[in-house]
């Protein structure tokens, strides 16, 4: 009715075309619905707004209402983003080391302990790989695998049946949360035993800053430091299946009558400029954008860790900055490959 009333009012206000101004009116009376709408608008109480005014007010209020700010990451709350570095990275934490010599090429807040999001799945994959469980064993996605931590969605519906190998593939390549949770839940002894094994493996590797409470990374209580994660990348790189699955470009999965296409969450695996041996991405609001990689740059095997990066593509941009810096340094005679950021904690 509001739209009819508006249309009628406009018709009364606009002048008739020149060719029709001297002709007798043949216009029909407005429809009954429009007449009622006009009558209602005329007889409204003083101060009452018309439907059009109310709608406009709502739209104006929506424009003027400040947007809900994104939840600050732990790194932002700790003031880590105030740290400067020679490469002007957007990640508040970064570490680049030579995998063979352990020489530190670049460091920035590398001792800070922060949530690590889906980087968790790298330890999940390591525990599964070292357990030598049958990769062909079929596992069913259950209601227990549905995310209650963040309410994230998944294309793996409850009841989906996939092999352990497929679940591992989707966990590492596409960061599939239900797949990772199912891997932990179906582990001998159950989920609690699996999480215990994750923490035991971290301790065995000397990852003293690391703690896991679940296998997906959805919980912000899964935490680590860049130094610990570099150790994890080195250990995971020794497992051929983790190298292969984490750097896979994509995979089609048959789910019932449907074929689902999954792609790698790290676009750099498809880049001709990169030779990546292992990688994992991660994101939750508390952790920011995260990325770990093993890659060969200028003939050197490097381990790179980027945590708490601000911006959806900033972790990728930071990796590119580091790669170009290493390449430039390698081409410069007598230049040492090292850079230390300011304001190092502890």
Adjacent-strand bridge partners of 288: 284
Q: Could you give the angle at which helices 164-173 and 177-185 cross, rounded to 10 degrees?
A: 140
Cα 144–chain centre separation:
22
pTM score: 0.77
Answer whether residue 37 is part of any domain. no
- Counting as low any pLDDT under 50, the low residues of the chain are 1-68, 333-337, 341-346
Answer whether residue 275 is part of any domain. yes
Rounded to the nearest 10 degrees, how much is the dihedral formed by the CA atoms of 202, 208, 209, 211? 40
Catalytic residue among 83, 92, 171, 175: 175
Give the tens place of pLDDT for each residue, 197-247.
999 999 999 999 999 999 999 999 999 999 999 999 999 999 999 999 999
Cα(123)–Cα(140) distance, integer angstroms: 22
Strand ranges for the chain from DSSP E? 91-98, 104-108, 114-115, 138-140, 161-163, 223-224, 250-255, 258-263, 276-284, 288-297, 300-309, 339-340
Catalytic residue among 92, 108, 121, 186: 121
Asked about 171 being catalytic, the answer comes back as: no
The parent domain of residue 271 ranges over 74-340
**How much is the pLDDT for 324?**
97
How do 104-108 and 339-340 pair as beta strands? parallel
**How much is the pLDDT for 91?**
97
Answer whether residue 146 is part of any domain. yes
**How much is the pLDDT for 137?**
98
Answer whether residue 64 is part of any domain. no
Answer whether residue 95 is part of any domain. yes
Q: Would you give the DSSP letter of residue 49?
A: P
* CATH number, domain containing residue 294: 3.40.710.10
Catalytic residue among 73, 91, 92, 118: 118
Asked about 175 being catalytic, the answer comes back as: yes
Answer whether residue 129 is part of any domain. yes
Answer whether residue 126 is part of any domain. yes
Give Cα separations from 311 to 1, 227, 342 (angstroms).
Answer: 46, 23, 22
**How much is the pLDDT for 320?**
97
Count the domains in the chain: 1
Answer whether residue 270 is part of any domain. yes
């Amino acid at each position: 009715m509001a739209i009819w009333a508006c249309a009628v009012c406009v018709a009364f206000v606009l002048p008739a075309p020149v060719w029709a101004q001297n002709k007798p009116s043949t216009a029909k009376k407005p429809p009954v619905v429009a007449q009622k709408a006009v009558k209602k608008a005329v007889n409204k109480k003083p101060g009452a707004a018309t439907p059009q005014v109310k709608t406009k007010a709502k739209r104006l209020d929506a424009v003027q209402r400040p947007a809900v700010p994104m939840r600050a990451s732990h790194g932002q709350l700790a003031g880590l983003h105030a740290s400067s570095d020679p490469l002007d990275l957007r990640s508040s934490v970064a570490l680049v080391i030579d995998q063979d010599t352990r020489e530190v090429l670049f460091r920035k807040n590398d001792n800070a302990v922060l949530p690590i999001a889906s980087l968790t799945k790298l330890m999940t994959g390591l525990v599964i790989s070292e357990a030598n469980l049958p990769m062909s064993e079929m596992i069913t996605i259950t209601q227990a695998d549905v995310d209650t931590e963040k309410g994230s969605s998944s294309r793996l519906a409850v009841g989906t049946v996939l092999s352990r190998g497929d679940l591992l593939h989707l966990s590492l390549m596409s960061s599939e949360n239900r797949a990772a949770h199912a891997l932990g839940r179906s582990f001998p002894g159950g989920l609690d035993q699996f999480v215990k094994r994750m923490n035991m493996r971290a301790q065995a590797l000397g990852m003293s800053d690391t703690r896991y409470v679940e296998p997906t990374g959805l919980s912000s209580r899964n935490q680590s430091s860049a130094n610990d994660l570099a150790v994890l990348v080195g250990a995971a790189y020794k497992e051929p299946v983790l190298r292969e699955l984490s750097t896979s470009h994509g995979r089609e999965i048959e789910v019932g009558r449907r074929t689902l296409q999954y792609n790698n969450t790290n676009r750099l695996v498809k880049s001709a400029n990169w030779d990546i041996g292992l990688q994992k991405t991660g994101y939750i609001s508390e952790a920011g954008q995260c990325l770990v990689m093993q890659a060969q740059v200028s003939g050197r095997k490097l381990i790179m860790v980027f945590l708490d990066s601000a911006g959806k593509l900033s972790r990728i941009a930071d990796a590119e900055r580091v790669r170009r810096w290493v390449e430039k340094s390698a081409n410069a005679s007598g230049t040492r490959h090292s850079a230390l950021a300011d304001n190092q904690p502890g």
